[in-house]
Amino acid sequence: TMGNWLVNHWFSAVVLAAWLGINIFLFTYYFLFFDRDERYFYTRAILGSALAWARASAKCLNFNSMLILLPVCRNLLSFLRGTCSCCQRTLRKQLDHNLTFHKLVAYALALLTAVHTIAHLFNLERYNSSQQAMDGSLPAVLSKMHLQGSHKWLNPIHSNQTTVEYVAFTTIPGLTGVIITLALILMVTSSTEFIRRNYFEVFWYTHHLFIIYFAGLVIHGIAGLVRGQTGESIKEVHPHHCAQYLTHKDKHCNHDCCKDPEFGSIPAESWKWVLAPVLLYIFERILRVWRARQKVVVTKVVMHPARVLELQMQKKGFRMEVGQYIFINCPSISLLEWHPFTLTSAPEEDFFSIHIRAAGDWTERLIDTFQQQNLEMPRIEVDGPFGTASEDVFQYEVAMLVGAGIGVTPFASTLKSIWYKFQQGDQTLKTKKIYFYWLCRDTGAFAWFNDLLASLEQKMAESGKADFLTYRLFLTGWDTIIANNVALRFDTAVDTVTGLRHKTIFGRPMWNSEFTAVAAAHPRSVVGVFLCGPGALAKSLQKSCHQHSSLDPRKVKFYFNKENF
């Protein structure tokens, strides 16, 4: 299994190892630098090893803050996917892990922020105790040096009355540190799966605290409260020779170490790390706003059973590929909220469509708005389309498509496109066989998809390719009325639930037997497994892909792909 995992995920492992390696290198290098460098000899005399912990974590925070925006630059990812279309499949697949990497970097930021904050709390405590000390020790003498002149101070606390709270809320590093940390806590906690699924608006708005996060990060180090000895001062009074004379200074001093050391601030450098990605992200947002301003015409509105709304639209210059998604905004509901929806139309059609299920406040309001529209159609803004895993369906000889509930939408586009390719007699179609699995809780959700499957079934039969598509519908939730109805009509040619030739299966798929059957039917093929559904199902399918892939490059291989928003 480990061998199979490495075959399927070697590039992910390389990216992860590189990211971890750079973090470990930055932390170790700067920890040792601040723990040993002679410029910080006097700073360490007051702070001890907490200085190195604070500075090393700060470097890693800068590095990860540089990375955090890149995975959410959708236009950049689409561009890379386009330029990578001739690259290896493995490289293109990494772009679908963008949100996983974004979350990983966010967790690293949270951990590093905790280390940085705790280290600085220790630093403040030591600065405070050194300022109050009257014992003539080196930290005590260094803390009184602000009395000698403006360039002499090393300890930023110049008063015995100063508290940790005072520093935290009145200095630039303290206040920005508190604000950055609060923003990060809110962003991380509001992006949990539960809140994203049930209170998307909460997630959407709190995530925009990233603007405050980056503004605070750039300002954070400007005051330069942590200082070190200047290069010129080290040449004149080197700490290894002269430190002892600071605590035992004669009034009539006449040797090389008589002069007091001078200190300078560590220059703020967060802006150097984050400038390029922030500018790239600003350009990304400007591009999104410009594209969203282009007129969209809603040509058809269809209300399907189970509160599923279908919108058919047209927009000048809009070009899509199979399984792509768009972001939708309805200004009459919310000016700022954009929600992702997979396109259910095929590239061959003269319109593009989406199917929207009632799942939260915004979707409920959108469905109500379109149901109640009288004369005037509500205005819709569209951003996209953006590339995602299902674009690669036609790159595989054999494809297994798995949709759960409304997650069938990207495959509606795929199946429609196949239908058009058959109609047009497309000779370039690489795919030889498609297995389609749809898992659904209630029968109402099947209704809007039935017509497509029925027409596809007929088309395949007419062109002598009835075996090209094998589909299996799984009803995972049913009641006694449905069960009795099915039992009475068991011998009919078409299914009781859907009216299709393939019978609906009650319960969940046995993935082990499904994969075994596909592997047996296609012993030398590369099989693409595509899912739009929940995380638990993804883990199950991923496991099956690893278990049923052969290590022999000439035999069957299963590649897992998942939709990500």
Q: Does the pLDDT at position 187 exceed 90?
A: yes
Lowest mean pLDDT among 131-135, 380-384, 403-407, 502-506: 502-506
Between CA 60 and CA 20 the distance in angstroms is: 11
Look at residue 90 in the predicted model and tell me its pLDDT.
61
User: Of residues 213 and 480, which shows the higher confidence score?
Assistant: 213
What average pLDDT does this structure show over 121-127?
A: 93
Q: What is the mean pLDDT of residues 138-150?
A: 82
pLDDT of residue 3: 52
For residue 164, the model assigns a pLDDT of 77
Range of weakest confidence among 170-179, 366-375, 546-555: 366-375
pLDDT tens digits, 230-250: 999 999 889 988 888 888 777
The pLDDT assigned to 86 comes to: 52
Burial class (CB in 10 A: 0-12, 13-18, 19+), 81: buried
pLDDT of residue 276: 96
Judge whether residue 549 has pLDDT over 80.
yes
Q: Residue 80: what pLDDT?
A: 80
Tens-place pLDDT, residues 326-375: 999 999 988 888 898 989 898 988 999 998 888 778 899 999 998 886 66
| Rounded CA separation 549/8 (Å) | 9
Per-residue pLDDT reduced to its tens digit, 439-486: 887 656 556 677 777 777 787 788 777 788 888 888 886 555 444 444
Give pLDDT, residue 299. Answer: 93
Q: What domains are defined for the chain?
A: 2-170+227-248+258-267 (no CATH), 293-365+380-386 (2.40.30.10), 389-482+495-562 (3.40.50.80)
Least confident of 47-56, 140-149, 164-173, 492-501: 492-501
pLDDT band, very low/low/confident/very high, at 87 (cuts 50, 70, 90): low
Percent of the chain past pLDDT 70, that is, above it, reads 87
Q: Which helix (H) or strand (E) holds 437?
A: strand 433-440
**pLDDT of the residue at 377:** 85
Q: Which of 319-328, 492-501, 535-544 has the lowest mean pLDDT?
A: 492-501
Average pLDDT, the chain: 84
Prediction pTM value = 0.79
Question: Distance of CA 354 to CAs 36, 327, 385, Å?
Answer: 61, 10, 12
Q: In what order do the strands lie in the sheet with 381-386?
A: 339-342, 325-329, 381-386
Q: How many CB atoms lie within 10 A of CB 543?
A: 16
Q: pLDDT band for position 497 (50/70/90)?
A: very low
**Given this model, what pLDDT does residue 200 score?**
81
Exposure string over 89-127, b if 16+ CB within 10 A, otherwise e: eeebbbbbbbeebbebbbebbbebbebbeebbebbbebb
Q: Please say if the pLDDT value at position 400 is more than 90.
A: yes
Report the pLDDT averaged over residues 480-499. 47
Q: What's the burial of 549, exposed, middle or buried (CB within 10 Å: 0-12/13-18/19+)? A: buried
- Mean pLDDT confidence for 286-312: 88
3-state SS class at 425: coil
Q: Mean of the pLDDT values across residues 309-338? A: 89
Res. 496: pLDDT tops 50: no
pLDDT at position 1 is 47
Q: Which of 80-84, 211-215, 245-249, 484-488 has the highest mean pLDDT?
A: 211-215
Six token digits for residue 358:
């009632």
pLDDT at res. 444: 65
Average pLDDT over residues 22-32: 98
